[in-house]
Chain A
Amino acid sequence: MPAPVYIIGDNIITPLGTTTEENFEAISNGVSGIRRHTNNPIGDFYASVLDKGMFLPGESLTHLESLFIRSIQQACQSAGIDATDSDNLYIFSSTKGNIELLQKQANLSASIHLDQMAKAVTTHLRYAGTPLIVSNACISGVQAIGLAYTLLQQGKYKRAIVTGGDLFSFFVLAGFYSLQAISPFPCTPFDKKRAGISLGEGCGTIILTREPNPTSIQITTVASSNDANHISGPSRTGDGLALAIQSVLQTAGKEPKTIQFVNAHGTGTIYNDEMESLAFQRCGLAQIPVNSLKGYIGHTLGAAGIIETILTARSLQRNQLLTSAGFQETGTSVPLPVITENHTGNYTCALKTASGFGGGNAVLLLEKQVSS
């Protein structure tokens, strides 16, 4: 098995705060960034949207690019590393990038292209190399971490700076609205009343290295799979997600019962949450405590996998489980022990899952090193 990689720095920017700490504190106090908004012609909807004051004014940079820069700089600071270092590998994760530029019709800016967006950010940071970009719908964030994990094994780079971001856009709102997938109230993952997603926006940056670091959380292994079933709906049986979970457990040599909690994708749609419950059952995880963080920060698309992985790592570090906002009553055919109360204990091992449009699934295993 390849060597684990270690998290040596991170940052999260959402409406709940501009650092990982602020976000973790808010969520552990049950604070949600999801608010009611109104739009013509869609009407009322709920979403977790950043305050415009959170965007740093930057010449010729888009809002999203300025968010990436801020998040990367803060993560580098937390890891005590230099963003310009040629030993860094940059990996971006985004589904729609600067999609709002399409509304401006005339003179489509080069930044509409994800490669140009990423380049604008790394150029501003004075990094000379070429960033890589993962764009694989809702699993992009977990996959970007997986790509970093694999490329770090080859020893060409000292560390990987993996950053994921997507903004709330009318484009995506209208799209999910057309699919009738927007929840009429703040999303309630795994709950009986759940009725769709709440969109969110934000950015997360995680810095990984292969150099063992005894106090860091490690990412032991990452795997992905595809349902090969439907492009816009999850498999009805959960078999695709189960393949990726089994791949991770097998590679890491872990029994399902040794996993202490699962941070699920948990979008709050009828089909996603049902599919996840079936997949967890298939893999012997139906008894393992589970949460979704989307009731606090909404679905942040290309940032979701990274933000949620960071918060899960922080849970292990602080020995504190985060609750799953909006859950009251089992609403999946396999009842899952959804976390509804703050727990503290000795937590050393958690699983993070993601599933998305195009049939993709991605899973990673996080572990705290136990000092021998």
Chain B
Amino acid sequence: MDLFVTKYCRLSSKGINTHKGVVNLPLNDMVYDPQALYTLLQLSYPKFFKMDTLCKYGILAGECLFEGNPLSYTSSEIGIILSGQHGSLDTDEQFQTTLETDNFFPSPALFVYTLSNIVMGELCIRHKIKGENLFTVSATPDYDLLCQYTTALFLQKRINACLVGWVDYYQKQPDILLVWVETTSDINALLFNHNTLTSLYI
């Protein structure tokens, strides 16, 4: 079964690239400032401000990819298959500092972000994705796993579209690749396979 990447967004310390080309950032280090990117991209999604940094980057990449367009599928037929290395470690470290015995003040607003998969939950809420979902952890992106598992779900007719990718953030380094996978191709579509993902993850 041939599947296609019809849209994508790569967000890393090098900048932001999408299927439409390079996103022009007025300042070189702007990519390290999610709030500035939010303003630049003219987003209007107040939930953004309560999120941890990993989720902010995930949402920003999703915005660059979908550009505010609603997805042309029923919620339950859209899947989301994501991976990362550090999960919520950045937020875990922040939460840990609130647990010192002489200054014990754990914040529920922080705790709910101490799970790897919350970025997936935020993307589901933002884009109304209700289908099959999976979050895996690996040292580096495991394209074979992402491709095999996603393709199997399409073959089983469980999903008709899928947001697939690598979402990672730790020690100020965002490292995100999101691809939108569909069964029909347009003129600019890429085949959804190991090679395509490798070439987009640069």
Which residues does A use to contact B, with CB under 8 Å? 1-2, 40-41, 95-96, 99, 102-103, 112-116, 130, 132-137, 143, 146-147, 150-151, 153-154, 170-171, 174-180, 223-232, 240, 243, 247, 251, 357-360
Query: Is the beta-carbon distance between A133 and B80 smaller than 8 angstroms?
Result: no
- Give the chain B neighbours of A143 by CB distance below 8 A: 134
Whether the Cβ atoms of B129 and A226 lie closer than 8 Å is yes
Chain B: which residue is nearest A225 at the CB level?
A: B130
- Please tell me the size bucket of the interface on B: 35 or more
The 8 Å CB contact of B136, one of A135, A175, A230, A251, is A135
Name the distance in Å between A175's Cβ and chain B's nearest Cβ: 4
Chain A, residue nearest B156 (CB)? A2
A247 to chain B, nearest CB (A): 7
A-B contacts, 27 of them at CB < 8 A, read A95-B115, A96-B114, A99-B92, A103-B96, A114-B87, A116-B139, A135-B117, A136-B117, A136-B133, A137-B115, A147-B136, A150-B149, A150-B152, A151-B148, A153-B152, A174-B98, A174-B99, A174-B111, A224-B132, A224-B133, A225-B130, A225-B131, A226-B80, A251-B156, A357-B121, A358-B121, A360-B120
Closest 7 CB pairs between A and B? Answer: A358-B121, A175-B111, A178-B106, A232-B112, A228-B124, A133-B137, A135-B116
Complex Cα distance A134/B115, Å? 12
In whole angstroms, what is the CA distance A180 to B106 when docked? 11
Known contacts A171-B99, A178-B106, A360-B121; is A225 also within 8 Å of B76 by CB?
yes
Q: Is A227's CB under 8 angstroms from B149's CB?
A: no
Does the CB pair B132–A225 fall under 8 Å?
A: yes
Cβ of B107: which chain A residues have Cβ within 8 Å of it? 178
A113 touches B85 (CB 8 A): yes
**Residue numbers in B under 8 Å from A135 (CB-CB):** 87, 115-117, 135-137
Residues from chain A with a CB closer than 8 A to the CB of B93 are 102
**Cβ–Cβ < 8 Å partners of A153 in chain B:** 152
Binary contact readout B143-157 vs A (1 if CB under 8 angstroms, 0 otherwise): 001001100110010
Cβ-closest chain A residue relative to B80? A226
**A175/B114 in contact, CB under 8 A:** yes
Contact present for A136 and B114 (CB under 8 Å)? no
Chain A CB within 8 A of B19 CB? no
CB distance from A315 to the nearest CB of B (A): 27
- Cβ of B108 under 8 Å from chain A: yes
Cβ-neighbour of A136 out of B86, B108, B116, B125 (below 8 A): B116
Whether B104 contacts A41 by the Cβ 8 Å rule is: yes
- Chain A residues near B128 (CB, 8 Å)? 228
Contacts of B118 in A (CB 8 A): 137, 231, 357-358
Contact at B135–A136, with CB atoms within 8 Å?
yes
Contact B133 A225 (CB under 8 A): yes
Minimum CB–CB distance from A329 to chain B (whole Å) comes to 29
Partner of A359, one of B76, B114, B125, B137: B125
Residue pair B106, A175 in contact (C-beta under 8 Å): yes
Given contacts A177-B106, A179-B108, contact A136 B134 (CB under 8 A): yes
A-B contact count (CB 8 A): 157
What residues on A are CB-neighbors of B129 within 8 Å? Answer: 226, 228
Residue B57 at the chain A interface, CB threshold 8 Å: no
Query: In the complex, which residues of chain A have a beta carbon less than 8 angstroms from the beta carbon of B135?
Result: 134-136, 358
What residues of chain A lie closer than 8 Å to B87, measured between beta carbons? 114, 135
**Interchain CA distance A41-B120 in the complex, whole Å:** 33
User: Could you say which residues of chain B place their CB within 8 Å of the CB of A102?
Assistant: 92-93, 96
Check if B122 is an interface residue, CB within 8 A of chain A: yes
* Distance from B81 Cβ to chain A, minimum over Cβ atoms (Å): 10
Across the interface, which residues of A come within 8 angstroms of B156, CB to CB?
A: 1-2, 251
Closest to B152 in A: A150
* Alpha-carbon distance A66/B139, docked complex (angstroms): 21
- Residues on the B chain within 8 Å of A41, using CB: 101, 104
Contact present for B131 and A178 (CB under 8 Å): no
A125 to B115, CA, bound (A): 28
Q: Which residues of B contact A96 (CB under 8 A)?
A: 114
Distance from A223 Cβ to chain B, minimum over Cβ atoms (Å): 7
In the complex, whether B183 has a CB less than 8 A from a CB of chain A is no
Within 8 Å by CB of A231, from B98, B121, B134, lies: B121
In B147-171, the 8 Å CB interface with A consists of: 148-149, 152-153, 156, 158
Q: In the complex the two chains form, is A228's CB within 8 Å of B125's CB?
A: yes
Complex: A99 Cα to B116 Cα, angstroms: 13
Closest to B109 in A: A178
A151 with B149: in contact, given A134-B135, A357-B115 (CB under 8 Å)? yes
Please tell me if the beta carbons of B130 and A227 are within 8 angstroms of each other in the complex.
yes
The reply to whether B92 and A243 form a contact with Cβ atoms under 8 Å apart is: no
- Nearest-neighbour CB distance to chain A for B53, whole angstroms, equals 15
Judge if B75 is at the interface, Cβ distance under 8 Å: yes
A231 CB, min distance to chain B CBs, angstroms = 5
Contacts of A136 in B (CB 8 A): 116-117, 120, 133-135
Nearest CB of A to B170, in Å: 10
